[in-house]
Amino acid sequence: MSPTNTIRASVVQACTVRYDLDATLEKMERLVKVAKERDGSGMVVFPEAFIGGYPKGQTFGCVIGERHSSGRQDYLDYHNAAITIPGPAITRIEKIARESGVLIVSGVIEKEKVGGSLFCTVVWVHPEGGLIGKRRKLMPTASERLVWAQGDASDVKLINTTLPSSSSSSQALNLNISATICWENYMPLFRQHLYDLGTQIYCAPTVDGREVWANTMVHIALEGRCFVLSANQMSPGSL
């Protein structure tokens, strides 16, 4: 993109309101409004599992070879906080995108309508087109597999969409946007596939707060010749 052919994007580093979908959606709306009105952003990226939450440190009553009833209520609460796609929560996010004029890319915990399996999913919600894409995490990492099912790669693709230029009120930009969730970024063949498809903006929602994560993002930007936007959840009270 040339200096006269740009968009402005924001990365939101904030945490879920635990087990409270309405409060989390209100938080999303407030932060999108800040990104639009204060920063002039046309695109906002939220962290992995921002809607539904990342169950860091929870066991749900399970250890290898044993399951305890003490974790059942925690799992029920977590399952109830997940969303269906499409569904009321997506309709609310579509409204936020439409009223703000912002493309929202966010991690969500998706609940399958039949069977009830949970997936770590990313959604793209456009201000005009509404829900224009979703993708499930291919391989949950380590103990995430206790609560999240695997994606099947059928939804692996770029999202091609149009956004207004931040440098010209009359110009719209056609963009190829991808999203790779957390430790999917350590899958070289997956990264290469997205590069081959022609990704221009590479979103990386995560909950990885290690210092080395920033190095990973810089490496991907150099390797893929693309812009990288990575959002990480932060601790309660941070935003």
Residue-wise pLDDT for 51-66, tens only, equals 999 998 888 888 888 8
Burial class of residue 37 (count of CB atoms within 10 Å of its CB; 0-12, 13-18, 19+): exposed
pLDDT band at 238 (very low <50, low <70, confident <90, very high): very low
- Domains of the chain (ranges plus CATH)? 9-229 (3.60.110.10)
Closest to 199 measured CA to CA, from 230, 161, 173, 227? 227
Mean pLDDT, range 132-152, rounded to an integer? 93
Compute φ and ψ for 26, nearest 5 degrees.
-65, -40
pLDDT band at 239 (very low <50, low <70, confident <90, very high): very low
Which residues belong to the active site?
48
For residue 97, the model assigns a pLDDT of 97
Token pair recorded at residue 1:
């993109």
pLDDT of residue 62: 84
Proportion of the chain above pLDDT 90, given as a percent: 74
Average pLDDT value for residue range 38-49: 95
**β-pairing verdict for 9-11 and 43-45:** parallel
pLDDT for 2 beyond 60? no
Q: Say if CB 14 and CB 47 are below 8 A apart.
A: yes
Instruction: Name the pLDDT band for 113 (thresholds 50, 70, 90).
Output: confident
Q: For position 4, what pLDDT does the model report?
A: 61
| Burial (Cβ within 10 Å: 0-12, 13-18, ≥19) of residue 176 | middle
Determine how many CB atoms are found less than 10 A away from the CB of residue 134. Answer: 19
Q: To which residue do tokens 């962290």 refer?
A: 47
Mean pLDDT computed over every residue of the chain: 91
Supply the pLDDT for residue 185: 95
Biggest alpha carbon distance in the chain? 62
User: Model confidence over 155-167: pLDDT tens digits?
Assistant: 999 999 988 887 7
**Whole-number pLDDT of residue 165:** 81
Query: For the segment 196-224, what is each residue's pLDDT rounded down to a tens digit?
Result: 999 999 999 999 988 999 999 999 999 99
Please check whether residue 124 is in contact with residue 45, taking contact to mean a CB–CB distance below 8 angstroms: no
The stretch 223-239 carries a mean pLDDT of 82
Indicate whether 168 pLDDT > 80: no
1 against 147, higher pLDDT: 147
* Best mean pLDDT range from 4-13, 37-46, 229-238: 37-46
